[in-house]
A = this chain, B = another copy of it.
Amino acid sequence: MRTPRARIDSRGFRQVCGYAARVVKRRRAAARRHPRDLRRYVAGPRKVPTLSAQRTTLADVAAAAGVSVSTASLAFSGSGPIADRTRERVLEAARTLAYAGPNPLGRQLRRGRSGIVGVVMGDVLRRAFRDPVTVQVLDGLTARLGPLGLGVLLVPGPHDTTQPPVDPLLSTAAMDVAVQMWGGTTDDPVLETLRNRGIPVVLVEGTPQPDVAVVGIDDRGGMAELTRHVVGLGHRRIATVTLPFDRDRVEGPAGPGRLSGIAWEITRRRLAGVTDAGVEPTVVWETPASLVEHGAAAGRALLQAADRPTAIICQSDLLASGVVLAARELGLRVPQDVSVAGFDGLDLPWLAPDVLTSVAQPLADKGAAIGDAVADLLAGRDAEERVLPVALREGTTTGPVPV
């Protein structure tokens, strides 16, 4: 069947070198001018599609429309002058050939852009998605990214220390920009990998550092305000339940040793807010993740201790709601027996009739701000730091200190 110099390549195309190549090329070119002969190069109509295999190419469409490839390209991209009639003819040809538009792979290589924003989650996906904060930010982000023609590629984040430090996707997948959702210490392996690849980064709630765009909120200020509110109610014995300190994800009261080495900026800042308000927590309880069950565990421990705190300030609403549930479980009334405050300003209807006293952060805006930072980086501007405001929201879970 095959002449010595012809062969079929991995994608089913016939390839020929030297003189014969020119002959074949001429044949394919001819085929383009006579769509009838295209059969061999086109996937059967509506057959079970195997790969992303999109056999019909712009060249085929151009040939069918009787224009050059470049003109056909213009018809689709709209990024140049083209006569209305010509465009119409091209689109008509595309319709006839069931051409669904330019192959993104070719376009991407040529443009040097993938149109993809890698989003590195702060955790394994399951846990990350259970956090409404992450989810709402992600939602705000995609809303901003959509109109820019950008899509979100999910990249699992650092799990625990038993896992390899970065997901292979991070080192190999195409992405124009990366967003790291939480964490991002200076020596973060994720940031290191991205830096090596030359991929610009937007860091959310991380440690500011050179060459990285940062988006965050005024959580230190918000936490200070929240604490002052609690102090204003007369509380002095105040415990605090925190987000994880680092990838070790320890659970329990943190001694001075651990307190001095908090790797995650967000945890450190929110803790600093408490101190700023002049409060020295009776206990700093570290959790392995911002989840209801960890809050409940903390609540049980703190509220059954001898010298029970009269107020518990939590670094997230999920943790706070766990504490509220634990209090209820123990027969303690909130806020009569114990006050509980959270952070984030989530709407947690299942906590009804209670509404958490919390610090509300603008989640959708934060997502949008991340999107703006992404757009900045993509446009070659270096993104300024974006810090969004927060607002104290009084609910029903804080009240005067019990007498």
CB distance from A261 to the nearest CB of B (A): 27
Given contacts A109-B106, A114-B104, contact A146 B151 (CB under 8 A): no
CB neighbours (8 Å) of A155 from chain B are 151
Contact call A51/B292, Cβ cutoff below 8 A: no
Given contacts A349-B296, A351-B350, contact A52 B175 (CB under 8 A): yes
Contact call B135/A132, Cβ cutoff below 8 A: no
CB neighbours (8 Å) of A352 from chain B are 325, 329
CB neighbours (8 Å) of A293 from chain B are 349
CB distance from A29 to the nearest CB of B (A): 21
Given contacts A50-B200, A124-B139, A296-B349, contact A172 B153 (CB under 8 A): no
CB neighbours (8 Å) of A177 from chain B are 52
Does A14 have its Cβ within 8 Å of any Cβ on chain B? no
CB neighbours (8 Å) of A49 from chain B are 195, 198-200, 211
Does A85 have its Cβ within 8 Å of any Cβ on chain B? no
Contact call B139/A125, Cβ cutoff below 8 A: yes
Which single member of B100, B115, B198 contacts A196 (CB below 8 Å)? B100
Which single member of B46, B104, B195 contacts A46 (CB below 8 Å)? B195
Does A116 have its Cβ within 8 Å of any Cβ on chain B? yes
CB distance from A189 to the nearest CB of B (A): 14
Q: Assign chain A's interface to a size class.
A: 35 or more
Does A48 have its Cβ within 8 Å of any Cβ on chain B? yes
Does A283 have its Cβ within 8 Å of any Cβ on chain B? no
CB-CB contacts of A288-330 with B at 8 A, as 1s and 0s? 0000110010000000000000000000000001000100010
Does A174 have its Cβ within 8 Å of any Cβ on chain B? yes
CB distance from A34 to the nearest CB of B (A): 23
Cα(A293)–Cα(B348), bound, Å: 10
Which single member of B51, B114, B197 contacts A380 (CB below 8 Å)? B51
Given contacts A52-B175, A126-B139, A153-B153, contact A11 B112 (CB under 8 A): yes
Does A152 have its Cβ within 8 Å of any Cβ on chain B? yes
Does A396 have its Cβ within 8 Å of any Cβ on chain B? no
Q: Which residues A242-261 have CB closer than 8 A to chain B?
A: none
Contact call B198/A100, Cβ cutoff below 8 A: yes
A residues near B, CB below 8 A? 11, 43, 46, 48-54, 98, 100-101, 104-106, 108-109, 112-116, 124-126, 129-130, 132, 135-136, 138-139, 142, 146, 149, 151-156, 167-169, 171-177, 195-200, 210-211, 292-293, 296, 321, 325, 329, 349-352, 377-378, 380, 382
Some 10 contacts from A to B, beta carbons below 8 A apart, are A52-B176, A101-B197, A109-B109, A115-B173, A124-B139, A126-B139, A129-B129, A129-B138, A151-B154, A153-B154
- 20 new A-B contacts, CB < 8 A, other than A52-B174, A52-B198, A142-B154, are A50-B200, A50-B377, A51-B176, A51-B380, A52-B112, A52-B177, A53-B112, A53-B198, A54-B197, A100-B171, A105-B109, A108-B108, A109-B109, A126-B136, A126-B139, A129-B135, A146-B168, A149-B168, A153-B153, A153-B154
